[in-house]
Structure 1
């Protein structure tokens, strides 16, 4: 049964929406920590479980297979039974399987549990988008989604700052036990304090329209290309810097922290800037994706710790700033009634990039032994994403076309939606 807030006053509604945003952000932060833990832990975990260097990518791929499936299911459930229950349940069960993964005895068991972690964790993204879209209007969503998506950057920062040190102090399993416990505790807080918001009475648009919406499909493909670069970097950069350039593991973790920190700072800034400009989010997102591809190519040519640290900041901006723009575009195209389903479907398509890139980059690096070739492979994703995004028509452009059609029906009636 949905736990809807009943006609709150303007003041209480304003306060409540920031609580909702904070808890959605905290939840996504923890599932991002859970997802990012494998990067800095992979070498030690692989040695303990008897996994080859190329085989390490299978663990990340297993996670993302589950994650993609749960994005679709979580979005559909959030629109029907309420996003509060879906988000809290997603975080709680993901935390439980993190604890289980910290005790797996073999590689096969580990790959299976990683898939289960992803299957549980993915639902919180679509649920969070649904909650934020219902509590924040179109002119505020850039900032709200910027704050919300800071979580993925912060999750990468936290994992890469803490996991190498936890390995030094204890072992790689300690990270999974710690983060699992924290995730389960936060889930109980979300279940207690989050509230769904009742939508105004209106006919629910048909769900099949989401699948046929060309613009949502293109946004999903743009996200595919962006996440190919982003999570390929998060998954492989530690291992590549250590094995390909001889960088100390703790120093490599610091490079990824800088990479993620730049994205965390930039996301709300670019979200607010596009809200204030009011000229759409497509063109800034295309520019960010192109810049990201260039940074990945340059990163592949670096050789020293100092050079990696400098380039990591620029690469981090490219790797993360497109995401709040793409996500903020989705509710405007789908409507808030189906925002959860639309976010789940588009993110599931986007996350296929995360599913495939770990294995592809691992195969490229093992076959060529080339650090630069691995990063050139990563750069191909953002380029493809930028191309797909150029064909999107944003919601405000479509609305303007509709207004023109009503004013001059003979001339504009047959424009494609």
Structure 2
């Protein structure tokens, strides 16, 4: 076989391996969000069956994020230390079992406990996703890869919302949780047998090294760079760095604001349609899918456009930030739903806002581009920790604001937070540069280097 044929065969094998890994992450994200959001589909039935108030339902919605947020930083450290092939099936089985148990309990305290358990075991999942993509994909392809797996939370729920509503119609809210949990357990076994670490693929290792070599050549041509060994260890100094850098705080705050829009759709949105807009559960399930489809289109458009701009020679400043800024601007349109009455108009404004949220949802790429090389997991954990606080605060805030059935103040809050996120990316993040450590120091001093 000729060298050219071997090269084409190797390239095809690498591409096939990367697509296979991306498919595994995509399905895992769909299951992840199914187990996060099935509570929103069941919320109306649960509140009636167990006689729970809006504030109590807000606490149940929020409970997932209590542990999910707290465990982001430890979860990021675990991801840096444990092989993903072992870690991912373990957390999948654990949160799926908690989902099954959720369908067997009958008290507020027990539901809160189950939601906390799900949040605890889902915490390492997104840092793990980001680590997998960072290892398997060169930087020039990373935003597209992140967009594809992130789209799983939107396209999966777009099609699952009606399916989950039908399952609940047939088996009740308890059956909904049991079926969801069993799906996750089966998928954990599939993941273990199909996933392989990127180091097992020589083609991926070579591609990554070539990509790094090109970046170093470009950086050296642009300006001299002091040698700085990337041997940062995960310790308190590293944690201090992760919470003291202005650029990192820019993406953290932006993620909180981005998450606030997302968490509304993942928790209170079906209740908003059913109670405030007076729609039945099945109609709610089908109408709820439309904004998720819009968000799916937004995140794919964002990721592929961003990588296309990079390949065309545009800077990371323009290629990566532009979709996020435009997306956050569109997310502000949610407030328009407060001033219309027809179902079509309400659906339009909410879909436009969620399309913008999807457009801005490639923000994980900034973790790869800004974080020190040996702190991707830790910074990813901090990033998701601050973003996850939106899931702690926003459900309870909406429950309090809408305690009398009026959701207009809640939608105004979400729109205002989108403006804050926009300002964060404009004024705090600034130029997209990777943080590097000074020689001989571990996390106590930083020096930007062009990514």
TM-score, normalising length: structure 2: 0.81
The equivalent of 2:439 in structure 1 is none
The equivalent of 2:215 in structure 1 is none
Alignment partner for residue 267 of structure 2, among 220, 231, 235? Answer: 235
> Helix, strand or coil: the match of 1:309?
helix
| Further displaced range: 181-190 or 313-322 | 313-322
CA distance in 1, matches of 2:242, 2:409: 37
Superposition deviation, residue 281 in structure 1 = 1.4
Aligned pairs (5 A) from 1:48-127: 48-127=49-128
CA distance in 1, matches of 2:129, 2:172: 33
Between the two proteins, the alignment pairs up a number of residues equal to 393
Aligned pairs (5 A) from 1:181-200: 181-198=182-199
Aligned pairs (5 A) from 1:153-192: 153-192=154-193
1:393 aligns with 2:430: yes
> Helix, strand or coil: the match of 1:282?
helix
1:346 aligns with 2:383: yes
CA distance in 1, matches of 2:160, 2:122: 16
CA distance in 1, matches of 2:177, 2:66: 20
Paired residues of 1:143 and 1:269 also in contact (CA < 8 A)? no
1:251 aligns with 2:283: yes
Aligned pairs (5 A) from 1:397-408: none
Alignment partner for residue 363 of structure 1, among 383, 388, 400? Answer: 400
Per-residue CA shift, 1:20-55, capped at 9, x if unaligned? Answer: 111111111101111111112101012222311221
Alignment partner for residue 308 of structure 1, among 314, 329, 346? Answer: 346
Paired residues of 2:164 and 2:176 also in contact (CA < 8 A)? yes
Superposition deviation, residue 416 in structure 1 = 11
1:394 and 1:149, CA in 2 relative to 1: closer, same or farther beyond 3 A?
Answer: farther
Superposition deviation, residue 183 in structure 1 = 0.7
CA distance in 1, matches of 2:129, 2:269: 28
Superposition deviation, residue 133 in structure 1 = 0.9
Any gaps of 5 or more consecutive residues in structure 1? Answer: 1-7, 400-413
Q: What is the alpha-carbon root mean square deviation over aligned residues?
A: 2.4
Per-residue CA shift, 1:282-330, capped at 9, x if unaligned? Answer: 2321221121012x10123332322233334312201222111x11111
Per-residue CA shift, 1:81-101, capped at 9, x if unaligned? Answer: 122222222211111110000
Per-residue CA shift, 1:100-139, capped at 9, x if unaligned? Answer: 0011121111111111011111211110110011111111
Aligned pairs (5 A) from 1:34-53: 34-53=35-54
Paired residues of 2:433 and 2:449 also in contact (CA < 8 A)? no
The equivalent of 2:359 in structure 1 is 321
CA distance in 2, matches of 1:107, 1:358: 16
The equivalent of 2:297 in structure 1 is 265
The equivalent of 2:27 in structure 1 is 26
1:333 aligns with 2:370: yes
> Helix, strand or coil: the match of 1:212?
coil
1:204 aligns with 2:231: yes
Paired residues of 2:158 and 2:293 also in contact (CA < 8 A)? yes
Superposition deviation, residue 197 in structure 1 = 2.5
CA distance in 2, matches of 1:9, 1:210: 38
TM-score, normalising length: structure 1: 0.88
Superposition deviation, residue 214 in structure 1 = 2.2
> Helix, strand or coil: the match of 1:354?
helix
Per-residue CA shift, 1:209-258, capped at 9, x if unaligned? Answer: 33333212210110101111221233112212222221222222222211
CA distance in 1, matches of 2:282, 2:343: 11
Paired residues of 1:255 and 1:308 also in contact (CA < 8 A)? no
1:282 aligns with 2:318: no
The higher radius of gyration belongs to 2
CA distance in 1, matches of 2:192, 2:30: 16
1:345 and 1:73, CA in 2 relative to 1: closer, same or farther beyond 3 A?
Answer: same
Paired residues of 2:323 and 2:359 also in contact (CA < 8 A)? no
CA distance in 1, matches of 2:112, 2:290: 29
The equivalent of 1:410 in structure 2 is none
Any gaps of 5 or more consecutive residues in structure 2? Answer: 1-8, 200-204, 210-228, 311-317, 437-446
CA distance in 2, matches of 1:323, 1:125: 13
1:291 aligns with 2:340: no
Per-residue CA shift, 1:335-363, capped at 9, x if unaligned? Answer: 55332222221011111011100000110
